[in-house]
Structure 1
Amino acid sequence: MNIVFNHATFRERADMLSFLRLCRERGVGTVSIWGDEITKTGDSNALAALRDHGLKVSGYNRIGPFLPDYLGRAEAELERAAHFGADHVFLFTGGLVEGERGLIAAKRRVEDQVGRLLEIARRVGVKLAIEPLHPMLAGERTVITSMTSANDLCDALGHGIGVVVDVYHVWWDERLEAEIMRTGRAGRLLGFHVNDWLLPTRHRLTDRGMMGDGIIDLKAIEEIMRRAGFRGGLEVEIFSTDWWARDPGEVMEIAITRCRQIFGDRPEATNTYRRRFEDRNSIRPS
């Protein structure tokens, strides 16, 4: 099992250099990085740390929101992502702009904007990643709120763009299995983000759960992903004020243990610290 850590899970208490070091200490070989954290660290320092720790980059976060001057800024970010060897670059389209009502016109606008970005991405050699978000975020964060919408957009635009499945945002969708299989048949499953949906949910952005603490059938969705042909890693991405407050190394240990328990096979990540965390941080009994 391959575990990928997204820096967003830890960056409140670990800058990029610390994050990369902690990943390497735990045998995690692939990371998902953020452009604003690279800027804080400096491109040369970040590249050197990735190289020294032998880490690969899966996702680069992110392009957007799509404001009027987005193309110029986006081109620089896409070139930077390519320089860092990212497999894919996340698109953060933003929600409705001033004067828009409803989603039909907004989706047409986004399709046009993503199409322009795709021309640049093809030229610099990186893939664009659409990540459908939960419908509750449609107004301010994205108008792509289902796997169906993401697949329709990819169908319209052609090669060079794919989909990242984040369980937090899509677990509710009764068409989820059919749409994941559709994505897989088209060869555009780019990533798989794992976390959990808590009851009650206190905040729509910053109250995601650690795997196993909520109500999502994580193993079932992972099995669909594998049947659809996805061979990538389990990317741990948890936006949570509770988990951000904890020691990032401890959070990594808990996440590794939970992935091992829920998804079965022993993850590639191994280290001398794991044993002391496994017992006390196992999945809560029902």
Structure 2
Amino acid sequence: MPEDLSRLCIHTITTKPWPLEVAVDKYAAAGVGGISIWDDAATDIGIPRTRQILDGSPLQVVSYVRGGFFPNHNREARQHSLDNNRRLIDDAAEIGAPLLVLVCGAEPRQSLEESRRQIQAGIEALIDHSAGCGVKLAIEPLHPMYADTRSAINTLGQANQMAEAIDHVQVGIAVDVYHLWWDDRLEHEIQRCGANDNLYAFHICDWKVPTQDMLLDRGLMGEGCIDVPLIRSWVEAGGFRGFHEVEIFSNTYWSMDQDEFLKRIITAYRNFS
């Protein structure tokens, strides 16, 4: 179990009620090592102000969240998505984030196979721009319950296949335990991901039982059914030495005192990660 917080990263969405400046100060004061910035937290105050806040903090910026949403049955909409992703890459570079996490999207008016083709084409179209900005791209596979509109990439195997087909150092994978814990091939696919040096991010939380909301009821590590330490051991056996990123969407936790919630995050990280 982790003894210090140097590899703990918290996503700003986790403590959503806090403005970015407050979150940065609170995380740093607690000894947290890293922060991942959600685009709403940055655009609410502007990218220059975001950079100013982060430059004044000891926190390491781990990633910018979230790009993607490539598929659409309309060509103009797909082009708009690419333009938006280029803007997000620019913003990530400006705030000093080395990685843009991609929630790849899906289009219910077409097959999953077609959506996956459009996702790969979209990512490939961004490689030159992302390389020029020094920002890598991470495909994040999402749980199959989101295959309708949020992502046609639903297993780590699918993400591995796409990353290997693209075969570029700019493109890797974000492993999120919430989306992947159920997969009986997860250990194998993590090994595959690590063998190809494609493991770019590791997100942690827990799956509460019963889950009250499939989007907004994630749990703290240790209060659900995900064996986070086991998955962490697979990730580290695959060569990953990056941050453990706590990403929790929870109406329950957003409604409580955020200072108390931060204490709970740290306790859960130390005891159940």
User: Could you tell me the TM-score, scaled by structure 2's length?
Assistant: 0.92
Residue 65 (structure 2) aligns with: 61
Residue 225 (structure 2) aligns with: 215
Residue 104 (structure 2) aligns with: 93
Residue 56 (structure 2) aligns with: 52
> Which SS does the other structure have where 2:66 is aligned?
strand
Distance 1:71 1:110 in 2: 10
Q: 1:161 aligns with which of 162, 167, 171?
A: 171
Residue 8 (structure 2) aligns with: 3
Structure 2 residue 27 is the aligned partner of structure 1 residue 23: yes
CA contact (8 A) 2:199 2:240 kept: yes
CA contact (8 A) 1:150 1:163 kept: yes
Residue 37 (structure 2) aligns with: 33
Equivalenced residue count is 260
Q: 1:249 aligns with which of 259, 268, 273?
A: 259
CA contact (8 A) 1:56 1:85 kept: no
Residue 148 (structure 1) aligns with: 157
Cα distance per residue 1:134-172 (max 9 Å; x no partner): 001000100000000000110111121111111000000
> Which SS does the other structure have where 1:129 is aligned?
strand
Structure 2 residue 203 is the aligned partner of structure 1 residue 193: yes
Distance 2:42 2:159 in 1: 28
The AA in structure 1 aligned to 2:43 is T
CA contact (8 A) 1:17 1:41 kept: no
User: Could you tell me the TM-score, scaled by structure 1's length?
Assistant: 0.88
CA RMSD of aligned residues (A): 1.3
Cα drift, residue 89 of structure 1: 0.2
Q: 1:126 aligns with which of 135, 153, 161?
A: 135
Cα distance per residue 1:97-123 (max 9 Å; x no partner): 5x31x3112211211111112232122
Q: Which runs of 5+ in 2 are unaligned?
A: 71-76
Residue 185 (structure 2) aligns with: 175
Residue 114 (structure 1) aligns with: 123
Distance 1:76 1:39 in 2: 12
CA contact (8 A) 2:104 2:140 kept: no
Distance 1:233 1:175 in 2: 23
Cα drift, residue 186 of structure 1: 0.8
Cα distance per residue 1:226-266 (max 9 Å; x no partner): 10101012111111111111122211111111111123xxx
